[in-house]
Homo-oligomer: A and B are copies of this chain.
Amino acid sequence: MNSDWLERLRAGEPRVVARAISAVERGGADARTIITALFRFTGRAHILGVTGAPGTGKSTLVNEIAKHYRRRGHRVGIVAVDPTSPFSGGALLGDRLRMQDLSGDGGVFIRSMATRGSLGGLAAATADAVKVLDAAGFAIVLIETVGAGQNEVDIARNAHTTLVVEAPGMGDDIQAIKAGIMEIADLLIVNKADHDAANATMAALEMNLNLKPKLENDWRPPVLKTIATTGEGVATVVEWIGKHRAYLETNRRLETRERARARAELELVVQRELMARLRRGLNGTRIEALVEQIAARQVDVYTAAEKLLG
C-alpha cells in the first residue's frame, strides 16, 4: 500500500478499507503492520454483535439496523462472519443480494469473512477487521455470526452490545435457549413477529430470563419483536442499543468490557504466535513419524506432544 494509506483509510476511502481488511484476513506481517499503525485510532465505534440460527432473518435485520443508522447520518460497517466450511470458503448468495440492497451508499461498508481452518483464526481476523472499520471512522460496526457455540462467544467478546435473534416456529424449542447463547445476549429479538408462534417464543424467552438470578443494577435483556422484512420494530431495537450503550457508560462498565476484550485478544494472538513458532522450529519428518505412531497406537497423543515439545 502507498505511504499515505493510513490517512486515506482514516478518511474512510472504501478501496483502502477493503484492501486493509483483505490484508488482516490473510494475517501475517502485513496484518501486523496495519494493526500496529491504526490501533491508536480505534475505540470510537460502537460495536454490535448479531447472532442467531440460519433462517431467523438475521441478515435482513442487520440491513434494516444499518439503514436506520444511515438515516441518522452515521457511517456503518458490517462484518458478516460466514461459517462456510474451511474447505471451500467463498461468498454466499445472501451476501450478494445484500450488497445490492445497500450498495451505492458510500456510508456503508460490507465484508464477509469465511471460517478459517485454524483454531482462533477467524476470531482474530474478525477482531482486526473491526479495528480497521473503527479506525476508518465507522461509528457503528455490526458483526453478524451464524450458529451456536464457541464462535459466537468469541465474537461476542468483540462486541459492546450483543443481539441474539430468534424466529418463532422453527423447531420444537427455542434455539437460543437450547444453544445456550442466552447468556451473551444484551438484547433478545424475536424476528418474523407476524408469525403465530411469536408470542409463545417471547414468553419462553422471558420465562428463561426470569429463571436467572440477577444482581441489583444488572442489565436485563429486553425481549423485542421485529418484522425485518417491513422494518417494523427496528426503531425500538436501535433505541435499546442506545440504552445499553448508556448502561455501559455508567460505573466504568465499558472500561471493564474493553479490558476483557483486550485480555481475550492478547491470549489469542499469543497462542497463534506460539503455534507459528513451533511449526517453524519443528522438523516435519519428526511430526510425520509421531503421527504414524499415534495412528498405529504405538504412542498416545500426550506422550507424542511431550516428545515434540522436548
The prevalent SS among residues of A at the interface is helix
Residues in B neighbouring A287, C-beta threshold 8 A: 263, 266
Contact A150 B151 (CB under 8 A): yes
Partner of A92, one of B146, B154, B178: B178
Is there a chain B Cβ closer than 8 Å to A223's Cβ? no
Is there a chain B Cβ closer than 8 Å to A243's Cβ? no
Residues in B neighbouring A278, C-beta threshold 8 A: 270, 274
Residues in B neighbouring A106, C-beta threshold 8 A: none
Contact A85 B184 (CB under 8 A): yes
In the docked arrangement, what's the CA distance between A170 and B258, Å? Answer: 37
Is there a chain B Cβ closer than 8 Å to A231's Cβ? no
Residues in B neighbouring A149, C-beta threshold 8 A: 83, 115, 146-147, 149, 151
In the docked arrangement, what's the CA distance between A179 and B277, Å? Answer: 32
In the docked arrangement, what's the CA distance between A171 and B154, Å? Answer: 26
For residue A173, give the distance in angstroms from its CB to the closest CB of chain B: 7
**In the complex this chain forms, how many copies of it are found?**
2
The proximity string for A residues 157-197 relative to B, scoring 1 for CB distances below 8 Å and 0 otherwise, is 00000000001001111010011111110000000000000
Contact A262 B294 (CB under 8 A): yes
User: Which single residue of chain B is at the shortest CB-CB distance from A120?
Assistant: B119
Residues in B neighbouring A11, C-beta threshold 8 A: none
Residues in B neighbouring A292, C-beta threshold 8 A: 259, 262
Beyond contacts A147-B179, A262-B291: 19 other A-B pairs, Cβ-Cβ < 8 A, are A36-B300, A39-B297, A54-B173, A54-B179, A82-B180, A84-B180, A85-B183, A92-B178, A94-B178, A115-B150, A146-B148, A147-B147, A151-B151, A255-B295, A262-B294, A266-B287, A267-B275, A269-B301, A274-B275
Q: List 9 A-B contacts (CB under 8 A).
A: A40-B297, A53-B175, A54-B171, A83-B150, A84-B180, A117-B153, A122-B150, A262-B294, A266-B294
